[in-house]
A and B are shown apart, each in its own frame.
Chain A
Amino acid sequence: MSFSWTRVGALLRKELRDYRRNRFVIGTMAAVPVLFITLPMIQLIAANATGKDLSVRIGLSLLYMLVIPVTMPSVVCAYSVVGEREQGTLEPVLTTPIRREEFLIAKALAAFVPTLVIAYAVFGIFLAVAALFAHPVIVSAIYAGTHVLVQFLFMPLLAGWAIWVGIPVSARSTDVRVAQQLSVLGSVPPLVILALMSLNVITESTTLAIGLAAALLAFDLLAWRVVAAMFDRERLVTGRRG
């Protein structure tokens, strides 16, 4: 049986419908961006354009933007398997002919697509507000460098990392709360490196950024196969301990 995008599409549509009807998911998707756009905007608008820590301030503000594609899919993916298992809706899906690779890609896309839409939208709002209300020196500092490109590049890569950490954690967990804690914790490491770069602890360079992006991309592509190999469908259906 070959890989079928029809089956992926069917499950993806179901997932997106479930999000729409689930207050918890809607709440998470609304609260996280609001939280992570308010603080950096205040920080940026109130910043002194002549301050020597300007680049650090800008770096910190932009770092907040990268927290969105990490936290949102972490929370959603942590629920994706164990949550459905608790609801009793996982077993019927796993007893259909859907392959585990298809199941995982549908779950991943269901977290990836809304995350990326929201993350890019929030970043767009951030850029627009900065352009309208921040000091011109700060605005040119944001637009002049590679900040915008880095944001657009790292947002999907970080989301991919968070997804491929969150789904296996969810598949192995027996409790949604534990899955969420572990998933958020597991999604932090690449963000730490970016934070150190933003705070000038690690010297930013194009080579380092490309290297980090390439490593994340390799992880995201490889993780799908690795997680699929580890995905024990029978254990999830029968409920036996792994």
Chain B
Amino acid sequence: MTENLQCFAGLYELDNVHGRIERALGAVNLEDRARDLCGSLSKGLRQRVALARALLDDPAVLFLDEPTSGLDPVATREVHELIASLRERGVTIFLTTHRLEEAERLCDRVAILNTTLRMIGRPDELREQLFRRSLDVRLRAPLDDPKAVFGAVSEIEGWEQTPSGYTLTVSDPDLAAPALARALVGAGADILSIAESRHSLEGVYLELIDEDVEAKAR
């Protein structure tokens, strides 16, 4: 592993090679395996060596192309932690991935590509652009007259019944939630939870793909 990093330090024409290799291996928690042959390492460890290589010249910007592709969950978590620690150290990371939960967990800004650039922004901004804000309501028992209860709250713009309760489209969840709670208590309902609906990045992506499919069909 050390020889491999020495070679790349040479290709980058770096000084203080020994110190840099020590720091890079330390950053990926591989100091104790420094003498292992790269060919004998698992895929997860090889990814960590690849990251160590990339860290040799203390980059300000790092491009990572599917760094967790083909890794088991443990190795994936290790790589995620590594990327998160690099981000905390101020390294700007461009991460290409098909794993949307990975993008959601690690990225400050996300660009979604489907042949062309479809959307770019913070995950919350993407959600807001595609989905109207809503509240998920769980009650011990269904309401006798939901139309009357929800209709009495001006912030609620629409509602639908779901297997676990109700989903309400609202203009502002912070205003709607207290008013809704009062209305439900007034109607004698036992409230289990009221929470703002959270659409995953996967939901955003699938919504975009659906839009593209519909646009092609037109």
Q: Which of B143-184 contact A (CB under 8 A)?
A: none
- Chain A 175-202 per-residue mask, 1 if CB under 8 angstroms from chain B, else 0: 0000000000000000000000000000
The interface residues of chain B, by DSSP majority, are classed as helix
The interface residues of chain A, by DSSP majority, are classed as helix
How far, in angstroms, from A14 to B39 measured CA to CA in the complex? 14
On whether A9 and B3 interact (CB within 8 A), knowing A92-B50, A92-B53, the answer reads no
Contact with A6, one of B4, B10, B37 (Cβ below 8 angstroms): B10
Q: With an 8 A cutoff between CB atoms, is B11 at the interface?
A: yes
Contact with B10, one of A7, A17, A21, A92 (Cβ below 8 angstroms): A7
Binds B, one of A55-63, A93-101, A130-138, A221-229: A93-101
Query: Which chain A residue has the least Cβ–Cβ distance from B3?
Result: A17
On whether A13 and B11 interact (CB within 8 A), knowing A92-B50, A92-B53, the answer reads no
Interchain CB contact under 8 A, B12 and A92 = no
Q: Number of A residues contacting the other chain (C-beta, 8 Å)?
A: 15
Interchain CB contact under 8 A, A97 and B12 = yes
Interchain CB contact under 8 A, B11 and A7 = yes
Interchain CB contact under 8 A, A92 and B13 = no
Interchain CB contact under 8 A, A14 and B7 = yes
Q: With an 8 A cutoff between CB atoms, is B8 at the interface?
A: yes
Task: Please give, as numbers and ranges, the residues of chain B lying within 8 Å of A65 by CB-CB distance.
Answer: none
Query: Which chain B residue has the least Cβ–Cβ distance from A14?
Result: B7
Min CB–CB distance B60 → chain A (angstroms): 16
- Chain A 82-122 per-residue mask, 1 if CB under 8 angstroms from chain B, else 0: 00000000001100111000000000000000000000000
Q: With an 8 A cutoff between CB atoms, is A139 at the interface?
A: no
How far, in angstroms, from A97 to B8 measured CA to CA in the complex? 10
- Chain B 104-121 per-residue mask, 1 if CB under 8 angstroms from chain A, else 0: 000000000000000000
Contact with B13, one of A7, A14, A17 (Cβ below 8 angstroms): A7
How far, in angstroms, from A92 to B46 measured CA to CA in the complex? 12
Top 4 closest pairs, chain A to chain B, by CB: A10-B10, A96-B11, A14-B7, A10-B11
Partner-B contacts on A (CB < 8 A): 4, 6-7, 9-11, 13-14, 17, 21, 92-93, 96-98
5 contacts between A and B (CB under 8 A): A10-B6, A10-B7, A10-B8, A92-B53, A96-B11
Besides the contacts A13-B7, A92-B53, what 15 more A-B pairs have beta carbons closer than 8 Å?
Answer: A4-B13, A7-B10, A9-B10, A10-B6, A10-B7, A10-B11, A11-B7, A11-B10, A11-B11, A13-B10, A14-B7, A96-B8, A96-B11, A96-B12, A98-B11
